[in-house]
Structure 1
């Protein structure tokens, strides 16, 4: 959220009720800022599941295939060592490294994909300038309505948020014209 309306609530229950009511009134670009995970916020905001598993799955398969291929190439094709009657291509011996390469590729691709999906690192955001917003990491619960939400009409939204029990309502970022 680069700009929008922020409302402060004292309890997670009040915040959840407000989110549900705002969604019922047609607001779709909502966000929640809480000091700890609150059960039910994802459903109330209408968030979809993360695409991260589908992004990292091909990298996991490629990592496992690459790890197996390197072992096969080195041990069976390029430099075969016949020791103790063991065949040059002994698939069970390749399982641990294949698994570890899959885990490594998944972890690295997952980390990079997560950073890209979350648009991180974001060192500063306009919401940080809202007075009292620092308490979002201590004991306050905030709802943000993005300025790009077509249902957002500032005076009406401020009145709605105050009626829903918001302690404070503030604008973050540049005013839209």
Structure 2
């Protein structure tokens, strides 16, 4: 069996910054240098960071819409089917009265839209993920209090361990650390 290359064991490189402006500038420079597989972590939302990262995925709203359509179709179809399959004729009530179907149709539209949105979001974010390699970085817990992190992932076409480390160090961060792949606990 052959030895894995040092880069195959690397998940990525993480640079720690002390101010949001420096993180935004780092992301801008990384994008300009051609890096596409990157992410940024901040203790609070930074609007400019969202714009620079170019986060424009809009799959969840479409999943929500599809869930609503599926829910409405199931509810309405089930009610029409049961009215024709199990007819109960009472006091000249019409067999097909669409107005009486709207309450259940609305309820299932909302239910399915919410379920599609929640489960779609979980799947798209690959959650629940009980362990992430970034959790092994000693200072990464500070991303929820007062530090800012830029991660360049090793699956990027431009990633080369030494050159990428030199690039990140050129951004003048507090520190740059290598993030190793870790095995998922079983």
TM-score range normalised by the length of the shorter chain = 0.7 to 0.9
Q: What is residue 4 of structure 1 aligned with on the other side?
A: 12
Cα 1:115–1:15 change in 2 (3 A) is same
- 2: CA distance between counterparts of 1:11 and 1:165? 12
2:74 corresponds to 1:66: yes
Structure 1, unpaired ranges of 5+: none
Kept in 2: contact 1:82–1:88 (CA 8 A): no
Give the CA RMSD over aligned residues.
2.1
Aligned residue runs from structure 1 range 36-75, under 5 A: 36-75=44-83
Aligned residue runs from structure 1 range 37-116, under 5 A: 37-75=45-83, 77-83=85-91, 86-116=93-123
Structure 2, unpaired ranges of 5+: 1-9
Cα deviation code 1:13-64 (max 9, x no counterpart): 1111110011111111111111222212233123332322333433321210
Give SS of 2:56's match.
coil
**Worse-superposed segment, 54-63 or 96-105:** 54-63
Q: What is residue 162 of structure 1 aligned with on the other side?
A: 169
2:182 corresponds to 1:145: no
